[in-house]
Amino acid sequence: MANLQMFTSESVSEGHPDKLADQISDALLDACLAQDSTARVAIETLLTRGLAVVAGEVTVDGYIEVADIVRNTINEVGYTDTELGFDGSTCGVMVAIQEQSPDISVGVDTGGAGDQGMMFGMATRETPELMPLPISIAHALTRRAAKVRKAHPSLGFRPDVKSQVSVVYEGHVPKKIDTVVVSAQHSPSLSHDAVKAMVMEQIIQPVLAEYEGYVDGPITYHINPTGIFVIGGPQADTGVTGRKIIVDTYGGMCPHGGGAFSGKDPTKVDRSAAYMARHVAKCVVAADLADKVVVALAYAIGVAQPVSLNIETFGTEKVGADEIERRVRDVFDLSPRAINEHLGLTSFRYLQTAKNGHFGNPSFPWERTAEADRLRT
């Protein structure tokens, strides 16, 4: 009997309150880095009805207008009217920011890691972007929902959307899409039947057409299964930076060290080393050394090189596991300073990463695979 199993991943749209909090934190980070490429930033955002609270540690040679950036980010996502449950132009903005502790700077200034922790990166041949299939489809659905909402405001869709996709696997190989869930916030003037029809026609069907090789037999659809989704965003649920770390990464198919990404400058290995782990994993797969790879790194605060490197290939390796690790160590310098230089992280702008996942977008520097040629030899 075939070894069949189901795996499920979810995504949330840019209008989800947690994702909106991530975007605000990254917009503030981008503004700091634009002023000062050596800025130290660790910002958290909390959103609730009519209020945005920004807290954290910032050391920057320059000045940013925090409230203006918060409001602009909220408005750009689409929360521009209290009728939608949140209005960037009128919501309150509270700011509680202090300087980064000099105790942390001592270790970072010498090239060490800004904190201890574990970071993981993954790559798999399931999709052209070398991402797991369930999270790729889930992100495509929320990305499509935002595009449709902005292009056709008369349809009555609102910013808060969730998607979830279940895929049947045979061993490590995805075989078919089993279940698709989409919950889309909408105008109160729309009936449930109207919303279901529009979500199917405007969002689900165009996305599944891109994955037709995995449409094999009937698919179960759950569209706005509670029947109504008018109240959403920060009015319905508090949003907090870093609460969607599985959505941000691999949809649960890869371990996660626990550290969030958004609002942190690239001296924080929570962010930069996770990006590097993805970069290494993707290069290993692109070099045809294995078909599925998870790279695990661990760091100690103030220490430059990782205290451990582990590469798991799930039996898909084409050369020995020890040889893969040797080549990785030869090709890549995994110290925080070298990672930042190799990937150009101080000049990168991070807001886009907080919308539809931090991995799989070919415009992100850690997604390149040019280094695969060196791994092959």
Residues 76-89: pLDDT tens digits?
Answer: 999 999 888 899 99
Mean pLDDT of 159-186: 97
Q: What is the mean pLDDT of residues 107-125?
A: 84
- Tokens describing residue 70: 């918060």
Average pLDDT over every residue of 307-329: 96
How many residues does the structure list for the chain?
A: 377
Residue 33 has pLDDT above 50, yes or no: yes
Q: Which of 26-35, 59-68, 102-111, 220-229 has the lowest mean pLDDT?
A: 102-111
Residues 6+ positions from 51 with CB-CB distance below 8 Å: 91, 92, 93, 94
Backbone phi and psi for residue 30, each to the nearest 5 degrees, phi listed first: -60, -40
pLDDT, residue 302, reads 86
pTM of the model: 0.95
Structural Rg of the chain based on CA atoms:
21
d(CA 297, CA 309): 5
| CA-wise closest residue to 310 among 126, 117, 115, 121 | 121
Q: Is the pLDDT of residue 110 over 80?
A: no
Residues 256-306: pLDDT tens digits? 988 999 999 999 999 999 999 999 999 999 999 999 999 999 999 889 999
Q: Are 80 and 89 in contact (CB under 8 A)?
A: yes
Percent of the chain with pLDDT over 70: 97
Q: Identify the pLDDT of residue 109.
A: 62
State residue 248's pLDDT score. 98
Please give the share of the chain, as a percent, with pLDDT higher than 90: 90
Angle value at C-alpha 104, between 118 and 302, nearest 5 degrees: 55
Task: State the Cα–Cα distance between residues 52 and 239, nearest whole angstrom.
Answer: 9
